């Protein structure tokens, strides 16, 4: 979005994760995902000219046109939640301010 509005070319995406982890019940589904052959990346086209968008806050959902996206089948993965011992069995917490 920034590159489009400033007439520059996007170069790279950098992602920094602070607490990335895998629970035991995620290992098998992730192994299945790693066996899949990657597909060609989809492309992003713009639905309106930047002059119509105006500024960075002027984007709408319909401005993002994804072409060539070919999703693979869903891999079931259980949501894991880890609670410390002191919170096990707690079903309700009330906060007072």
* pLDDT for the residue 23: 84
Tens digit of pLDDT for each residue in 33-84? 999 999 999 999 999 999 999 999 999 999 999 999 999 999 998 876 666 6
Q: For residues 76 and 51, what is the distance between their CA atoms, to the nearest angstrom?
A: 43
Q: Would you say 20 and 71 are in contact if contact means Cβ atoms under 8 Å apart?
A: no
> What is the b/e burial string over 51-69, where b = at least 16 CB atoms within 10 angstroms of the residue's CB?
eebeeeeebeeebeeeeee
pTM for this entry: 0.62
């Amino acid at each position: 979005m920034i590159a489009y509005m400033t007439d520059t070319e996007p170069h790279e995406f950098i992602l920094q994760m602070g607490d990335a982890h895998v629970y035991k019940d995620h290992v098998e589904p992730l192994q299945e995902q790693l066996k899949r052959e990657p597909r060609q990346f989809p492309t992003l086209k713009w639905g309106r000219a930047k002059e119509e968008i105006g500024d960075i806050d002027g984007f709408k959902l319909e401005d993002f046109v994804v072409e060539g996206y070919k999703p693979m089948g869903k891999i079931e993965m259980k949501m894991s939640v880890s609670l410390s011992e002191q919170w096990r069995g707690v079903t309700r917490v009330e906060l007072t301010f």
